[in-house]
Structure 1
Amino acid sequence: MTQRNYKATGINLKAMPMNESDRLVTVLTKEWGLIRAIAPGSRKHKSRLGGRSGLFVVNELLLVKGKSIDKMVQAETQQSFPKLSTDLARLTASQYLAEIALSQALSDQPQEELYYLLLEHLKRLETASKPNILPCLAQATFHLLALAGVAPEVFHCALSRAPLEIELGNPDWKVGFSITSGGVVKPAEIEKIEGDRLQEAQQQYAEYQQERLASQSVHLSNSHGRAAEASGAYSGSSDSESRPSAQMSSAERRQATGLKAKVSKEVARNLGIVDYLSGFELALMQQLSKPELIMMSASLTFPPAGTIGSSQQPLAESGPHQMWRRIEKVLRAYTQYQLDRPIRSAELIDTCFTAPTPVSQTYAP
Structure 2
Amino acid sequence: MSRTYKATGINLKSMALGESDRLLTILTREFGLVRAVAPGSRKHNSSLSGRSGLFVVNELLIAKGRSLDKITQAETKESYPGLSQDLGKLAASQYLAEIALYQALSEQPQAELFSLLREHLSRLEQLPRNQPRWAIAYLSHAVFHLLAIAGIAPQVQRCCLSGSPLQPDLNDSQWQVGFSAAAGGIVSLDALERLESQRRSLIASERSTYNYKPTSQVKRVADQPGQSYQISAHRQETPALISRVDAAELNILQQLAQAELNQLTPLAADNSFADSKWIFIEQILRQYAQYHFGRPIRSAALIDSYFALPTSTNDDATA
TM range (shorter): 0.7 to 0.9
Q: Which amino acid aligns with 1:281?
A: E
Q: Which runs of 4+ in 1 moved over 4 A?
A: 198-207, 295-300, 315-318
| Contact preservation (8 Å) 2:159, 2:165 | yes
**Secondary structure, in 3 states, of the residue corresponding to 2:244?**
strand
| Contact preservation (8 Å) 1:152, 1:183 | yes
Question: How far off its partner does 1:316 sit?
Answer: 8.4
Q: Distance in 1 between matches of 2:241 and 2:102?
A: 24
Q: Please name the residue that 1:95 is paired with.
A: 94
Deviations 1:153-201 (A, max 9, x none): 0000011000002111000101100101101000101111232344466
Q: Please name the residue that 1:283 is paired with.
A: 251
Q: Distance in 2 between matches of 1:295 and 1:354?
A: 27
Q: Which structure shows the higher helix fraction?
A: 1
Q: Please name the residue that 1:195 is paired with.
A: 197
Q: Distance in 2 between matches of 1:117 and 1:299?
A: 21
Q: 2:298 matched to 1:330?
A: no
Q: Please name the residue that 2:240 is paired with.
A: 272
**Secondary structure, in 3 states, of the residue corresponding to 1:23?**
strand
* Matches for 1:59-138 after TM superposition, within 5 Å: 59-129=58-128, 130=131, 131-138=133-140
- Identity among equivalent pairs (%): 51
| Contact preservation (8 Å) 1:322, 1:356 | no
Give the direction of change, closer, same or farther, for the CA distance of 1:283–1:298 in structure 2 (3 Å limit).
closer
Q: Which amino acid aligns with 2:252?
A: L
**Secondary structure, in 3 states, of the residue corresponding to 1:115?**
helix
* Matches for 1:1-365 after TM superposition, within 5 Å: 2-129=1-128, 130=131, 131-199=133-201, 270-294=238-262, 319-354=273-308
Give the direction of change, closer, same or farther, for the CA distance of 1:36–1:317 in structure 2 (3 Å limit).
closer
**What is the RMSD of the two structures over their aligned residues, measured on CA atoms?**
2.5
Q: Distance in 2 between matches of 1:316 and 1:345?
A: 27
Q: Distance in 2 between matches of 1:277 and 1:57?
A: 38
| Matched pairs, number | 283
**Secondary structure, in 3 states, of the residue corresponding to 2:242?**
strand
**Secondary structure, in 3 states, of the residue corresponding to 1:14?**
strand
**Secondary structure, in 3 states, of the residue corresponding to 1:333?**
helix
TM-score (norm 2): 0.82
Q: Distance in 2 between matches of 1:206 and 1:188?
A: 27
Give the direction of change, closer, same or farther, for the CA distance of 1:285–1:299 in structure 2 (3 Å limit).
closer
Give the direction of change, closer, same or farther, for the CA distance of 1:316–1:87 in structure 2 (3 Å limit).
closer
Structure 1 residue ranges without an equivalent (≥5):
212-266, 301-314, 358-365
Higher CA-based Rg: 1
Structure 2 residue ranges without an equivalent (≥5):
214-235, 312-319
**Secondary structure, in 3 states, of the residue corresponding to 1:108?**
coil
Deviations 1:298-345 (A, max 9, x none): 697xxxxxxxxxxxxxx7888011011111111001111111111001
| Contact preservation (8 Å) 1:153, 1:182 | yes
TM-score (norm 1): 0.72
**Secondary structure, in 3 states, of the residue corresponding to 1:319?**
helix
Question: How far off its partner does 1:7 sit?
Answer: 1.0
Q: Which amino acid aligns with 1:294?
A: N
Deviations 1:86-115 (A, max 9, x none): 122111111111111111111111111110
Q: Distance in 1 between matches of 2:7 and 2:263?
A: 36
Q: Please name the residue that 1:308 is paired with.
A: none
**Secondary structure, in 3 states, of the residue corresponding to 2:308?**
coil
Q: Please name the residue that 1:244 is paired with.
A: none
Give the direction of change, closer, same or farther, for the CA distance of 1:188–1:316 in structure 2 (3 Å limit).
farther
Q: Distance in 2 between matches of 1:3 and 1:103?
A: 29
| Contact preservation (8 Å) 2:195, 2:238 | no
